[in-house]
Amino acid sequence: MSVIDLGEYGADFTANPYPYYAKMREAGPVHRVRTTDGAELWLIVGYEEARAALADPRLSKSPSVVGMTMLDEQVIGPNLLVLDPPDHTRLRRLVAGQFTGRRVESLRPRLERLTGELADAMAPAGHADLVDSFAFPLPITVICELLGVPAADRDTFRAWTNEIVAPTGAGPEAEAIEGLAAYLDALVEDKRAAGSTDDLLSDLITARAEDGDRLSLAELRALGYLLLIAGHETTVNLIANAVRALLTHPEQLAAVRADFGLLDAVVEETLRWEGPVENATFRFTREPVRIGETLVPAYEPVLVSLASGDRDPARYPDADRFDLHRDARGHLAFGHGIHYCLGAPLARLEARIAIRTLLERFPGLELDPEGGALDWLPGMLIRGVRRLPVRW
């Protein structure tokens, strides 16, 4: 099978990968590709095949299957995204109890206050970068409050996480991971010493399974890392992508303004149409795995394209159209199977509240025509823009 060099597509692939994914889907559900950073792997682009792969135990999440460890795993330690059962099962059981529907719903008043305060701060200027002024501060404040991170440290966290999800180079990425690891170790030790019980990290420190099992320092560090990265970077881009989708589809925007009952549809259709995670994190074949008519050999890296699967017309007719009246259920934006995103209910709640606040406070909200071209985040993990200039 020939190798498709995604790097040859240049910046156009970063800005709009969907036509390229469509061309690949037409030729088959899985392809051998060379990514923009030069790595060769298998890319699954069909919806049914992607959904099946996400839950296939023959596709391991652990890089050790192919004798590798990821940079963050070397420094931080193994987290839920690089573990298979039974290790994954054990950690997920210890953590899942902290992400109940009741706990998420209890955050609603705080989320509503935060979005109101952010809107108040934006309003006098008449224009803003929505990412910097609104979409970033909301989830980073929420996740830092959940973890018990002081407000003064949040800008440092942002610099670290930006570098980790969209690296500008191996050196800066390593420095960001090392800085975050050291910070999290100190944070855990401080909370242990203080005996604090008023935040999620403190609850995780004291959490016990029925058999008395507890999380080690390394596991707490890795969970803090995962919650910070996954708990805010994805929500930043979910909010920004949803607002951009509405502002570029005026008829859909008008429908939402007329009926806020469509807010759930805005969130779900955004997740399907322009979700914040373009491709799931790596999987590795434990044995030869047949995908469509292609036999992927053992011990090969595999990427599951959530973005491509969710634009597959075999699953969603007229899939490239942003349509709030379609049934978007079954989308892959939060994954599928045992690695389904634990934070999905919180992300949905934050996005619904954020979008409603913006539409209520800024009736004339629109993209700023003087804002310049969109600057898309590099790489194939996070789908979003660095800035979203708007005015009202």
Tell me the CATH number at 314. Answer: 1.10.630.10
Q: What is the pTM of this model?
A: 0.93
> Tens digit of pLDDT for each residue in 232-259?
889 999 999 999 999 999 999 999 999 9
pLDDT of residue 306: 98
Q: Which domain holds residue 309?
A: 4-391
**33 three-state secondary structure:** strand
> Tens digit of pLDDT for each residue in 323-339?
999 999 999 999 999 99
> Tens digit of pLDDT for each residue in 355-378?
999 999 999 999 999 999 999 998
Q: Report the DSSP beta bridge partners of residue 296.
A: 289
For 112-177, give the DSSP string.
Answer: HHHHHHHHHHHGGGSEEEHIIIIITHHHHHHHHHHHT--GGGHHHHHHHHHHHHS-S-HHHHHHHH
Q: What are the respective helix, strand and coil percentages of the chain, to the nearest 5?
A: 55, 10, 35
pLDDT of residue 193: 83
Domains: count for the chain: 1
| First-to-last C-alpha distance (Å) of the chain | 52
Contacts of 114 (CB under 8 A, 6+ apart): 137, 138, 141, 142
> Tens digit of pLDDT for each residue in 180-237?
889 988 888 888 887 766 788 888 888 765 566 788 888 888 888 888 888 788 999 9
Most confident region among 6-10, 98-102, 135-139, 310-314 by mean pLDDT: 310-314
